[in-house]
């Protein structure tokens, strides 16, 4: 054994050059800490734990990486407070930018980065009380956090993936009658280009490989060309 570093339960890990980024959760998927540790000795280089004031700790998403930056979104399982999106320097942990979204950011899913933009899907803040509520997907500038556009569809967005000239968003949770769907959006503008009904309730976000979109539904794995 080269070294051992004490960590709380780990929900996410990624290797970057001479160090690793580790997301450890204090309460399941909640109230966690993002740490960078050196790969040669296991020493901590920096850590970041988003502060919160509500009685219910915020849900933390798995942080995506882009050139030199790591992103972390926080939101809630109940509409009780605003969600936030953080951009930190991956090497030093220094803050690049932080922003708060209007209203409540309910159940955000991991952000997706592509083409200089960051996409953050979530659920409708008034769901499940309002079955007609529309869930948001926010697009912001990955370098500055500035707004670019927002799209609304379904009551619960499971996740998104970028492929070539399309951003694919999976929506559905059992309340989207009659089924979940995949919406294809223009990544730069958010214009909806196409929509495919799934005939199933999606249970995961999408993964795209070789032009095929994969996800899990209530009846098993799905593949869409």
What tokens does 151 get?
A: 């799209």
Q: Mean of the per-residue pLDDT values for the chain?
A: 77
Residue 77 has pLDDT above 80, yes or no: no
Higher pLDDT, 13 or 153: 153
Looking at residue 206, its pLDDT comes to 85
Residue owning tokens 């951003």: 167
Let me know: does 74 contact 59? Beta carbons within 8 Å: yes
Mean pLDDT of 124-137: 71
Residue 216 has pLDDT above 60, yes or no: yes
pLDDT tens readout for residues 169-201: 998 865 555 578 899 999 999 999 999 888 877
Let me know: does 101 contact 132? Beta carbons within 8 Å: no
Buried b (16+ CB within 10 A) or exposed e, 96-129: bbeeebeebbbbbbbbbbbeebbbbbbbbbbbee
130: confidence class by pLDDT, cuts 50, 70, 90: low
**Cα–Cα distance between 23 and 67 in angstroms, integer?**
19
Between CA 73 and CA 84, with CA 78 as vertex, the angle to 5 degrees is 20
146: confidence class by pLDDT, cuts 50, 70, 90: very high
Mean pLDDT of 27-33: 58
**Cα–Cα distance between 202 and 25 in angstroms, integer?**
25
Higher pLDDT, 152 or 49: 152
């Amino acid at each position: 054994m080269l070294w051992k570093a004490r960590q709380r339960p780990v929900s996410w890990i990624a290797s970057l050059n001479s160090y690793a980024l580790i997301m450890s959760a204090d309460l399941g998927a909640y109230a966690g800490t993002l740490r960078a540790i050196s790969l040669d000795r296991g020493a901590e280089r920096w850590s970041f734990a988003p502060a919160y004031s509500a009685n219910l700790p915020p849900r933390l998403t798995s942080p995506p990486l882009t050139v030199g930056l790591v992103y972390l979104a926080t939101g809630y399982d109940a509409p009780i407070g605003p969600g936030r999106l953080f951009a930190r320097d991956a090497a030093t942990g220094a803050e690049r930018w932080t922003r708060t979204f209007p209203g409540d950011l309910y159940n955000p899913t991991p952000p997706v980065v592509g083409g200089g933009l960051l996409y953050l899907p979530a659920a409708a803040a008034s769901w499940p009380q309002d079955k007609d509520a529309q869930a948001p997907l926010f697009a912001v500038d990955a370098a500055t956090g500035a707004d670019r556009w927002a799209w609304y569809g379904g009551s619960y967005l499971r996740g998104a993936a970028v492929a070539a000239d399309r951003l694919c968003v999976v929506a559905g949770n059992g309340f989207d009658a009659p089924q979940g769907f995949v919406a294809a959006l223009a990544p730069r503008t958010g214009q909806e280009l196409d929509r495919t009904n799934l005939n199933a309730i999606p249970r995961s976000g999408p993964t795209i490989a070789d032009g095929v979109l994969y996800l899990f539904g209530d009846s098993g794995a799905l593949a869409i060309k």
